Amino acid sequence: MQSWTKTTLTLAALFLAPASLMAKSNIANLARQCNSEGKQKACSELARIAVEDKNYTVRREAVENLADQAVLAKIALADTNIEVQNAAVSRLTDQTLLARVAVEGNVASLRSAALQKITDSSLRAKVAAEDDKRSQVRAVVLKYLAENATSLPGWTLAGADTTIGKEIINFEQGRATLTAQVVFTGGSGAGIHFSNGATAYFGATIGSTPETGIPMYGVIVYHVTGATYMMMPQEFSLSLEKGAWTITAMSPPKLTSPPFTPL
């Protein structure tokens, strides 16, 4: 059985590797035709791959060779992979588009990276003003967590480590969706833990271990320098009602202490 599994994995690797290499070779050719020879058809195909390819490593490779500022901004705001988004921001030079990403980016590190590239002082001031508006929405979620999450038996909310992960805020419609990475310390826990102290980012309900990429759902427990931490992804929906942001839904519906056994 073990031999059969190794053979299957080897054949799979041999089958997939050439496809990836071919895709990257194609991107290199398209980049040369687009950037050096000015062929618009090649530029359009390169942009299409950067936006639509199902393999994020291929999208990232295309982005790293892309110069179209409008497409790069679109990718920075809409791609589902943070590596691809970061690659797009690194290629952005248009100050107005960087300001848009600094305001509308759905991850804090992405907004920060875009802001660092803005040299126009008036645009930086506008970004700061917009961020103040968005911080009011974040404050509602963080306040809720501070008041409610500490009730978990045996766990203490690690306020400094609890952060807003992804956020989508539409001020015109008065709607927002924020994902908080809720971190606790102390308590008892076994579950899933990483002895190497790795701290991984997880989406609302799904992520993958740094070592294997195997999908994990729900609560993640990890062990760092003798202390136990629990990270619980929590998604919040909010609406603007009578001038104030209010939480209208949560997923999971409430924070609960899972049945862990001591380490």
Q: In this predicted model, what pLDDT tens digit does every residue of 103-130 receive, in sequence order?
A: 999 888 899 999 999 999 999 999 999 9
In 3D space, the residue among 69, 42, 70, 72 whose CA is nearest the CA of residue 59 turns out to be 72
Residue 49 — very low, low, confident or very high, per pLDDT cuts 50/70/90?
Answer: very high
* Per-residue model confidence (pLDDT) at position 109: 87
182 near 218, Cβ under 8 Å?
no
CA angle at residue 93 from 90 to 97, to 5 degrees? 100
* Per-residue model confidence (pLDDT) at position 160: 57
DSSP, collapsed to helix, strand or coil, labels residue 213 as: coil
122 near 106, Cβ under 8 Å?
no
Q: How far apart are alpha carbons 131 and 80 in whole angstroms? A: 22
DSSP, collapsed to helix, strand or coil, labels residue 65 as: coil
In 3D space, the residue among 169, 37, 38 whose CA is nearest the CA of residue 103 turns out to be 169
* Per-residue model confidence (pLDDT) at position 186: 59
pTM of structure: 0.65
DSSP, collapsed to helix, strand or coil, labels residue 155 as: coil
Which residue has tokens 């003003």? 129
Written as six digits, the tokens of 213 are 């990429």
190 φ/ψ angles, rounded to the nearest 5 degrees: -120, -90
Q: Is 167 left (phi over 0), alpha (psi -120 to 50) or beta?
A: beta
199 pLDDT above the threshold of 60: no
In 3D space, the residue among 147, 134, 105, 106 whose CA is nearest the CA of residue 238 turns out to be 134
Domain ranges of the chain: 14-119, 137-251
